[in-house]
Structure 1
C-alpha cells in the first residue's frame, strides 16, 4: 500500500512548485505524482494510466528515485520524458525526446480520421491511409487500431521519430498493418503504386511560426524537437506543401485531414474551398469553438498535366 504521509508531502510540494501546462490538461498534480511514483517503482506509465491504480509502497532506493524525478518535473522536464509513456486515444505509447509528445487536442483529428478510414474500409477491403509527420506514430496507430483492417503507411523526416514510431507499432502489435518510412512528407510514397490510390491522407504538421518559437514554454522549446513544431515563417509551410501535393495521391472521394494551429483553420479552409481539386471542406472545432482540424474531399476533377 502507498505510504500516505510520503505521498501527501510530495503532493504538497508539487502543488506549491508546479502548474499544469495548458497543452497537457490531462496532467494534474495528483496523477503526475502517481505516474512518477510508478516510474520510480520500475513500472512506468502515463498520467492517464497512473490515475486508475494505486502503486505499492516504495523502498528507500525507489523513494530517492522518486524525489529525483519530482525535482526534474518541477524543473520543467516533460512528464512523458521522465516516464517514457504518453496516453493517446486509449493507447499507452512509448514517448521521449525523439518525437513530439502526443497532445489530447490531436484526438479531434484522430477521431475524424478513424471515421473516414472506417467508411473507406466499408467500400474496399484494401483501403489505404497515409500519415505524414507521424512523429511517434500516434495518429497512424490510432487509425490502424480503430479502423481495422485498414492499411496504414506513415513517414517522418526524423530518423529518431521513425525509430520511436516503429517501437510503438511493435509494442501495440500493429506492425503488420503499419509501415513507417523515413522521408520528407510524401516523398517515400511518390510512386505509381500510391498515386491516386490513397483513401485518407492525414497530417499533424509543425504549425508554430518560427518567430514564435523563442516565446514558447521552455518545457516545449527546451525539450521537444524543433523539427516537430517549427512550421516556418508563417507556420503553414508544411500545410502549403501538403495541400499542393495531396491531390496527386488521393483517389476521387478520398480525404485530406490535418491539424491546424489556433487562428490558422479558417484561412486554410478558404484556400481549400478555392481549389478545384477538392469539392467539400469541413472545419472541426474544439470545445472552445476554435478550428483545430480541417478535412477536404478530393473531387473527381482531373488536373491537366504539363
Structure 2
C-alpha cells in the first residue's frame, strides 16, 4: 500500500493543477480523498486527511482509484469525483447540479452566525438563504444556531434536489426548502419578520463566465456564476427586495465579488432602508462580505 500511495502521490504532484478558489486541495489530500472514494467510503478533501487510509485489497478498487485520478487530471473537480465538499465543519454532498462550496463563502457564514448569536440574540431567529445551491449556507446556520428557523430557496430544481439530499444527509430536516426566483417564494406571511437574509449570489460578469478555468466553466452550473452584464444584477435586486422581509434591526448579509464591495457599500449608505453598513475584508484585504442593518 505504501508503495502504491507514493507512486500515485508523485504522479499527482507532477501533474495536478489546482485552482486558487479551492486552496484546500493539494496532491496529498486529493489522493487521500480519491482513495477513500475508491474504497466506497467517500470523504471531503478536508476530512480525508484524518485517520488511516482504508485498504484497497482488490484489483477493482485499485482500478477505480486509477480512473478517479485520470478524471481528476483531466479537469473534473475533486468534489464531483468524491461526491463530498466541506463547509463550516460539515461534510456535505456535492455534484454538478450546484456550485461547489467555496472557502471564501465561509466568511459570510461566520458573519451570519455571529450576528445571530452576538447581536440579534433572538430566541427563535428567522433566517432566509437565497441562491442556496447545495444548501451550504442554510445548513451551516442551522447547524451552528440550533434555535434558528431557517428557510432556503433557489430557482434551480436540480440545485434544490441536491439541497434536499443534503438536508437528509446532515439530519437537518427542519430547514425548509422552496423553489423560486430570489425572494419571490417568501410572500406576505414573511413581511417584516426576518432577522437575517443572506446570499452568496452569482457575481461574475456574463462575458467572463466562459473565460473561467475549464474545471469551473465545464463542470459547474453557469447559473451559479453569471451575475449579468456588470456582475451585480442579483446583488442589486437583493438590496432593493430585502427590506420588505427584514424586521427593523434585521440584517442583510451578502458575498460580493472582487472589487464590488466598496461601490455596493456606498450605495447602501445612501439607502434610507438601512442604517448601518459593514464591509468585511478577507486576509488579502479585499472586501468580500457586505452587511447592512434594516432601519
Q: Could you say whether these structures have the same fold, taking a TM-score greater than 0.5 normalized by the shorter chain as the test?
A: yes
Q: Deviations over 1:32-89 (max 9, x none)?
A: 0000000000101111000112212212110000000000000000000000000000
Residue 302 of structure 1 is matched in structure 2 by: none
Matched, 1:211 2:196: no
SS in structure 2 at match of 1:253: strand
Selected match of 2:161 from 163, 182, 204: 163
Counterpart for residue 179 of structure 2:
182
Contact conserved, 1:120 with 1:127, CA < 8 A, in 2? no
Selected match of 2:8 from 1, 7, 10: 10
Paired residues, number: 294
Contact 1:109 1:259 in 2 (8 A): yes
Q: CA RMSD in A?
A: 1.0
Which TM-score applies when normalising by structure 2?
A: 0.98
Q: Secondary structure at the match of 2:278?
A: strand
Residue in 1 that maps onto 2:257? 261
What's the secondary structure of 2:104's corresponding residue?
Answer: helix
Q: CA deviation at 1:126?
A: 2.6
Residue 116 of structure 2 aligns with which residue? 117
Find 2:135's aligned residue among 131, 134, 137. 137
Decide whether the 8 Å contact of 2:120 with 2:250 is kept in 1: no
Q: 1:259–1:294: 8 Å Cα contact kept in structure 2?
A: yes
TM-score of the superposed pair, with normalisation by structure 1: 0.94
Partner residue, 2:45: 47
CA distance in 1, matches of 2:26, 2:177: 33
Work out whether 1:21 is the aligned partner of 2:19.
Answer: yes
* Separation (CA, whole Å) in 1 of partners of 2:188 and 2:79: 39
Secondary structure of residue in 2 paired with 1:188: coil
In structure 2, what is the Cα distance between the partners aligned to 1:18 and 1:132? 34
Structure 2 unaligned residues grouped into runs of 5+:
none
Distance across 2 between alignment mates of 1:165 and 1:40: 24
Does structure 2 retain, via aligned residues, the 8 Å contact 1:158–1:182? yes
Residues 1-306 of structure 1: pairs in structure 2 closer than 5 A: 3-58=1-56, 59-119=58-118, 122-123=121-122, 125-176=123-174, 178-189=175-186, 191-299=187-295
Query: Matches of 1:147 and 1:66 in 2, distance apart?
Result: 38
Shift of 1:119: 4.0
The separation in 2 between residues aligned to 1:119 and 1:155, in whole angstroms, is: 25
Q: Give the drift of 1:169.
A: 1.3
CA distance, structure 1, for counterparts of residue 233 and residue 76 of structure 2: 29
Query: In structure 1, what is the Cα distance between the partners aligned to 2:120 and 2:287?
Result: 27
